[in-house]
Amino acid sequence: MSKDFFRFDKEYSREEWTKYLGDNFKYEYGSIPNQNSIIEKYIDCLDDSNNKAIVWLGNLNVDEDIGVYEIRIKNTKTGSRVKISKICTDIIKSGNKNSFGKGIFFILYSNENEKAYRISYVKYDKKVNENFEVKKDFSDPKRFTYLLVE
């Protein structure tokens, strides 16, 4: 599949997405800090079969790194956007073992014979306040979330 022509109406495929992200994407694959506690907290929403509920795929290097994550949820259509937002927020707050750069891109999908999946982009930045404390500043994960393949 050409990276110039990507079909958003097809079910999620990690291989196709990594091809589509192109030469600027550095595929690495790994886990996140506090992953087990996040999974335990949201086990009613996350699908942790095969221990793959949350996977860091790597970074998209455009101007600054954008972390790319897969999150396997139980149902992409009926999954609460609020709960999905909280999962994304907890991943952001878990630390930056895998640097976030200027944003985070989440791919939320289900293995329950669903073709639908969600993508969500979160603008992320670190700011230093007047007390020289570093504060994580990010957009609401619900703001740029889209359901694909209805």
Is 62 part of a structural domain of the chain?
yes
**116 vs 132 pLDDT, higher one:** 132
Q: Which pLDDT does position 75 carry in this prediction?
A: 73
Task: Give the per-residue pLDDT at 98.
Answer: 47
In angstroms and rounded to an integer, the radius of gyration of the C-alpha atoms of the chain is 15
| Domain contains 108 | yes
Flag whether 4 is in a domain.
no
- Reported pTM: 0.76
Do 54 and 124 touch, CB atoms closer than 8 A?
no
Domain that holds residue 81: 14-148
Give me the number of domains the chain comprises.
Answer: 1
Domain annotation covers residue 102: yes
Give the pLDDT score at 1: 46
Contact 69, 57 (CB under 8 A): yes
Largest CA distance in the chain: 51
Is 98 a member of any domain? yes
Helices (H), the chain: 14-21, 35-41, 81-93
Residues 5 and 64: beta-carbon distance below 8 Å: no
Chain mean pLDDT for the chain: 78
Using DSSP's 3-state secondary structure scheme, residue 17 falls into helix
The pLDDT assigned to 86 comes to 85
